[in-house]
Amino acid sequence: MPNRLAASTSPYLQQHADNPVDWFEWGDEAFAEARRLDRPVLVSVGYAACHWCHVMAHESFEDDTTAAYLNDHFVSVKVDREERPDVDAVYMEVTQAMTGHGGWPMTVFATPDGVPFYAGTYFPPRPVGGMPAFRQVLEAVAVGWREHRSQLLTGAAEVRAALVPPPRTQLPHGAVDPDAATRQALAALGRSYDAERGGFGGAPKFPPSMVLEWLLRHHARTGDAAALSMAAHTFEAMARGGMYDQVGGGFARYSVDARWVVPHFEKMLYDNALLLRGYAHWWRATGSTLARRVTEETADFLLAELRTPEGGFASSLDADSPDDAGHPHEGAYYVWTPAELASVLGADDAAWAAGVLGVTDAGTFERGASVLQLRADPDDVARWTRVRSALAAARSSRVRPARDDKVVAAWNGLAIAALADAGAILERDDWVAAAASAAELLVELHLARGRLARTSRDGVVGAAAGVLEDYADVAEGFLALHQATGEPAWLTRAGALLDAVLERFGDGAGGFHDTADDATDPVLAGLARPRDVGDGPAPAGQAAAAGALLTYAALTGSTRHRETAERALTEPLIIAPRQPRAVGWALAVAEAVLDGPREVAIVGEARDPARAALVRTAVRATAPGLVLAVGTGDAPASGPASASASGEARDAAAASADVPLLRDRPLLDGRPTAYVCRGFVCDRPTTDPATLATQLLPTT
């Protein structure tokens, strides 16, 4: 019989609905039951695309004997870390402190009040490699709870005390010099740069999306050739290797090796949204044909594989899928043998494709299969196009990886920003339209009374409240959409989200908590209010908030939003010279602060090609954090034009008046005009795209 998880809106929890384990969802019911039964709580945290989560589920949670022991001695709680990042953050801090490492699945044992006293990650069904068997761990904890509880409770009290941070005091304004911090961070980053293979550090290698955005911005501001070289090399290495899907587009979660050959095959929305925007910006900076191709293919992947019927974007694709015999294997959907190539392409094309894509008899993955790589663009473009299409068609007959189709607000905000930004840069109105559809879904479904829900699925909103990254990333998406479309409503909606950030998330010392002051989980409230200034696979909430606040300030002239953004950068910039890879997004925002950011207002009739030329120049400029407002300018005086046309012009002018950056921006000699301002100083207005391009060049 299905357990309680069958009613969950989380696909990850539903994957465990048929377990013999008597699972609870995280909540008051579970902890009340633990108190009633006087049992410890097992908190198992994972996510739908997690390979080792599936492994532990098959080995332990689907095992009747193990499940019976759990049901007799514990209250078991299953948590989707993507749905409840607040729970994950607090328990991950404990797990890392206790074990020296973290990851998923995460396995935490806690008191009936939720206070952890023992933690780990994956436990095998039998002892291996120095790891105890999961059943051994369960028995030891059960005996400890029954016979040595005072020691466990003492340990839990120590954990609780350690989780309470010391009081924070606000750092004085100017406590850190952003220019010095970025230069010192760049020097530190260079010491971890893999000059041979791209990326930073050794295996495993994760896509350093936020760091790459910072490097592009630093080069744009300073002209530093080393920054651009590190970014370009890493972008190319990732796109040429097996982490990038050479047949279907899109990026896997990370490379298990230092050469970007073999990935962990799950595909996450946040990775692909951040990388889509990054590759578009790389193309904008260099004109690289590879950058443009990967941008287009990644956008196509998002729209084809992750878009939901409601217009949002699903969270991920699983790493595992069944092979031809029906057995689940990681990467089965993506890898190829020479024989499989020959069966699809014929002998000649198969031999050619094997050389192009690095498919060998020995293989680069399990069971003699190879992960496809494209280390150089083929000379025969027509043949490559034919081969790629044939492989895509043949692969579509394989069993597809499962999709976690919940819509996460933060990650949809990243996707909206990426599609709107890349769509404007490459003049793809369909991408911008897709971004607008996702944004409308968030407005209609996730937003209620000024508050943001974190998730929805199949049009049903989940119970989890939005956290800081949700508000910040959705605001970022709305601001990018406003700049791509000129619609003032998106600016207004972003402002409302940022008002909630200022009112509900502040920590009193210039930074932000990750949960709202009235939405912190009651169990976690007894432990710690989550707060993390370091990036994970996506920007830290505080850095994301700083970026959105700065953009909003530039578009509206709000001193309050700008000052708050700069204060929020202080703490991560202090960290940056020692750990630049941990605060890449804060460094990227700092580059925008140092550059101004540039404020560009363009006015003119919407259908005028001259206005389009000015807009194209602005969106393809690389000035860090550049903001763009586009409108019609002042309403024309009444004249012989039709009443309808005059009405349309008045409506457009009224809409422009809703955008502070567009106010008092008349046309110059009746022609579309661009206004560029930076640091409270404005250049002479211009109608010439070449002059506008010069005004947007680096000034340091």
pLDDT tens-digit map of 353-385: 999 999 999 999 988 999 999 999 999 999 999
Average pLDDT over residues 102-130: 93
What is the per-residue pLDDT for 284?
A: 98
> What share of the chain has pLDDT > 90, as a percent?
84
> Which is higher by pLDDT, 44 or 449?
44
Tokens 């998923």 identify what position?
104
Whether pLDDT at 169 is above 50: yes
What is the per-residue pLDDT for 642?
A: 41
Token reading at 464: 């989890």
For the stretch 612-661, pLDDT in tens is 999 999 999 999 999 999 999 864 433 444 444 455 554 555 556 679 99
What is the per-residue pLDDT for 379?
A: 93
Tokens 């059943």 identify what position?
135
Identify the three-state secondary structure at position 9: coil
Average pLDDT over residues 666-674: 95
Token reading at 306: 């992750």
What is the per-residue pLDDT for 232?
A: 98
What is the per-residue pLDDT for 634?
A: 65
Average pLDDT over residues 335-349: 97
Task: Give the distance, in angstroms, between the CA of residue 143 and the centroid of all CA atoms in the same chain.
Answer: 42
Average pLDDT over residues 116-134: 92
User: Mean pLDDT, the chain, as a whole number?
Assistant: 93
Tokens 């490559």 identify what position?
384
Whether pLDDT at 14 is above 60: yes
Asked whether 604 and 671 are in contact (CB, 8 A), the reply is yes
What is the per-residue pLDDT for 656?
A: 61
Q: Which of the four pLDDT bands, split at 50, 70 and 90, describes residue 9?
A: confident
Q: Which of the four pLDDT bands, split at 50, 70 and 90, describes residue 525?
A: confident
What is the per-residue pLDDT for 652?
A: 52
> What share of the chain has pLDDT > 70, as a percent?
96
Domains and CATH numbers, the chain: 4-163 (3.40.30.10), 178-318+404-595 (1.50.10.10), 334-397 (no CATH), 599-695 (no CATH)
For the stretch 461-471, pLDDT in tens is 998 999 999 99
Residue of 325, 352, 350 whose CA lies nearest to 339 = 350
Token reading at 60: 């332990």
Residue of 342, 362, 361, 366 whose CA lies nearest to 352 = 342
Residue 285's CB is within 10 A of a number of other CB atoms, namely: 19
What is the per-residue pLDDT for 700?
A: 62
Residue of 332, 200, 318, 178 whose CA lies nearest to 260 = 200
Segment among 50-54, 80-84, 278-282 with least mean pLDDT = 50-54
Which residues, at least 6 apart from 147, have a Cβ–Cβ distance to it below 8 Å? Answer: none
